Structure formats: structure tokens, C-alpha cells
């Protein structure tokens, strides 16, 4: 058995994989593969409708918001957001808390002025800045809720005088949020929702159409809303698997129930890291992520032997990002707590071997 701690594409529920595999051969008994039916067919339209319905139900999306399944990953949203929200000559505000936040603000600079309200770059993003003022004259304020590479997470969101745009790629559906606090939420599917290939966007309708820009159709939220996520051929398979995963989440009791599991998983793992003399967590305690647990060896020479031990025990995806080093345990919704205990056992065994 493999214990998949990969940062993304990440682990999916086994029952979802079985259903998806069956649909590739014969979708719902119609004698055709999901991969070869028309996206305009009644069968796929039912899938898309169900996926949108589940997003609204699980996140309690209020009226006045549209739910989209788009292509291009969260990285395309780095450009779509300013294209749609930032007027010519206008300003946007960004919180720089990691690599992806940095990439997002770089894209925004093509469209107007960018004010970085705060950054933790000087510490290699080991904490999330908190003491700053959000400029009321900016078109929007962009944040990243969870920093996959560095293992930091916003546990509380900032009150803002302007629309908040949030990249939730690595912690969407992992905890309760108040969608009404945001102008736009976007998230690549490949962490907690489905396979790579589609990006969830939740957008407050009233903030659109004010930039004064002429926007290419594929990058225009309004066009995508009017097309019902089907302005062009959508990523059929990725949306279907996302729908299955959201149904799985609903069957487990929804976001509130999975949040309790996620906190329990991260708690026992951080406790072992703090207790074990061979390992050390890398980021500020108050900003530790419940999704991506980053830690290093106190002795750099222990890194390769520990990775070898993990491999022997079926633990995969544990190597840290090159910019941080060490180890990263991504503990997304579908990872059972039993896998956490396998990792903890490996850490304890390694400590015994290296007293």
C-alpha cells in the first residue's frame, strides 16, 4: 500500500478513482466512454449541473455569485483577475506570502500598478505578514490562503474595504469559509477537488464589468458565466472526477466534518515533529498549515536515509520543495489519518536508529 503525501496532483479517494475508471470505459451504462461523449449531451450537462450544485451546497455560496469550472489552472487566474477587475491606470493590492502570490502579483503588473502591502520574502516565507493596511483606493486585495511550498496558512482572513480575491488552490473544501467575504475565490482542482485540468472560480457578479477593458472572450468572466462554463469545450473528465470527489465529501458530512479530520491529522504530525529530536518545523507556529506540513532534519546528512526509509514503508511524495528542502507532508482531504501514523512510525523508528 502506498501512502501518498504528494503536494499536487494529490491523493484522491479510492472509491472516486474506481468510479472514474469505470466511466472511462462505459459512462453510466450508455455504451460510450465519458471521454468520447459530447459536452453538449444531456449526460454531461447533468454532470456539470451537479458539480456546480455541490460547490454551492458544500461552501454555502450565497445568491449573487457564479460558479465556474475553467481551464488553464490557477496560473491563468493570475492574469484573468487583473484583466477583469483592474481598470486602466488603476491599482491592485497584493499580500506576498509565497511563490504563488509572487507569481500572481507579477502578472498583475502587466495591467496596472501593484502595491505589495506586506511580504515575508526576507524570511523565505516562513510566516504570513499581519501588520499592514489595505489601501481603500485599490481595485481589489489579493491573498493566497495556503502556501503549499512553505507550509503556511491563513487561519483567519483580513477584513477589507475592497473586494478580496483569494487563491485557495491548496485548501479549498478543507475548512469552512464565508464566501460572502470574498469577491473572487479560485482554486486549481488538483489538491482537494479532482485531477489537474480544471479550475474552480467563484465570482461575485456585481464586481464584474467595471474595468473598462476590452477582454478576450476566453479570459472574460462574464463570457464564461453566460456560457455556463461551456463557452468552449470544457475539461469533461476533470469536472466529472471533481463532481465525484465533492459527492464523496458530502457523504462524509461535508466541509465541517472534513475540517475536524484535517485538524486532527495535522495536530498529531506537528506534535511528533516538535517532540522528535531529529526533526524541526520550518514556519511560525501560529501560521502552520493544516494541508502542507513542512519540516527539516536537524542534521542534513539524515535527509537521504530518512527518504529511503519512507520509500521502504510505501510513503511517497514526502520530499520537500527545492526552495525549502527537507520534507513536506501534504495531508489533503482524501489522505486517511492511518497514513499519518505510518509516517510518524517511520520518524520514530529513524530516531531510534540514530540516537
Residues forming the active site = 100, 167, 191
How far apart are the C-alpha atoms of 304 and 294, rounded to whole Å? 16
Residue pair 56/79 in contact by the 8 Å Cβ criterion: no
Length of the chain: 355
Burial grade of 323 (CB within 10 A; 0-12, 13-18, 19 or more): exposed
In the 8-state DSSP scheme, what is residue 120?
Answer: -
Helix axes 42-59, 236-251, angle to 10 degrees: 40
Q: Give the C-alpha distances (Å, rounded to integers) separating 13 from 4, 313, 318, 355.
A: 11, 20, 19, 38
Count of Cβ atoms closer than 10 Å to residue 265 Cβ: 23
Name the maximum alpha-carbon separation found in the chain.
65
Considering only CA atoms, which of 61, 23, 53, 12 is closest in space to residue 245? 12
Amino acid at each position: 500500500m502506498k501512502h501518498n503525501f504528494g503536494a499536487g496532483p494529490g491523493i484522491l479517494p479510492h472509491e472516486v478513482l474506481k468510479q472514474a475508471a469505470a466511466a472511462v470505459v462505459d459512462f453510466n451504462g450508455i455504451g460510450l466512454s465519458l471521454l468520447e461523449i459530447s459536452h453538449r449531451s444531456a449526460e454531461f450537462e447533468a454532470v456539470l449541473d451537479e458539480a456546480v450544485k455541490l460547490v454551492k451546497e458544500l461552501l454555502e455560496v450565497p445568491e449573487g455569485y457564479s460558479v465556474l469550472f475553467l481551464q488553464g489552472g490557477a496560473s491563468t487566474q493570475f492574469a484573468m483577475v487583473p484583466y477583469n477587475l483592474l481598470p486602466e491606470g488603476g491599482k491592485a493590492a497584493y499580500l506576498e506570502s509565497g511563490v504563488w502570490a509572487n507569481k500572481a502579483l507579477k502578472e498583475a503588473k502587466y495591467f496596472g500598478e501593484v502595491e505589495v502591502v506586506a511580504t515575508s520574502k526576507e524570511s523565505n516565507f516562513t510566516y504570513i505578514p499581519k501588520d499592514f493596511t489595505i489601501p481603500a483606493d485599490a481595485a481589489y486585495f489579493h491573498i493566497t490562503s495556503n502556501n503549499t511550498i512553505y507550509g503556511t496558512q491563513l487561519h483567519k482572513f483580513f477584513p477589507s474595504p475592497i473586494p478580496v480575491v483569494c487563491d485557495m488552490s491548496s485548501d479549498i473544501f478543507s475548512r469552512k469559509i464565508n464566501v460572502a467575504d470574498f469577491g473572487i475565490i479560485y482554486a486549481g482542482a488538483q489538491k482537494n477537488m479532482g485531477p489537474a485540468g480544471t479550475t474552480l472560480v467563484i465570482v461575485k457578479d456585481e464586481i464584474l464589468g467595471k474595468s473598462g477593458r476590452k477582454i478576450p472572450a476566453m479570459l472574460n468572466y462574464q463570457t464564461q458565466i453566460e456560457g455556463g462554463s461551456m463557452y468552449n469545450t470544457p475539461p469533461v473528465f476533470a469536472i466529472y472526477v471533481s463532481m465525484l470527489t465533492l459527492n464523496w465529501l458530502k457523504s462524509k458530512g461535508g466541509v465541517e466534518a472534513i475540517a475536524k479530520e484535517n485538524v486532527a491529522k495535522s495536530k498529531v504530525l506537528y506534535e511528533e515533529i516538535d517532540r522528535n529530536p531529529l526533526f524541526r518545523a520550518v514556519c511560525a507556529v501560529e501560521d502552520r498549515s493544516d494541508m502542507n506540513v513542512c519540516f527539516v532534519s536537524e542534521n542534513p546528512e539524515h535527509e537521504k536515509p530518512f527518504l529511503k526509509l519512507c520509500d521502504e514503508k510505501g510513503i511517497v511524495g514526502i520530499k520537500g520543495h527545492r526552495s525549502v528542502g527537507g520534507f513536506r507532508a501534504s495531508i489533503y482531504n482524501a489522505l486517511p489519518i492511518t497514513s499519518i501514523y505510518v509516517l510518524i512510525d517511520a520518524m520514530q523508528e529513524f530516531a531510534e536508529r540514530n540516537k
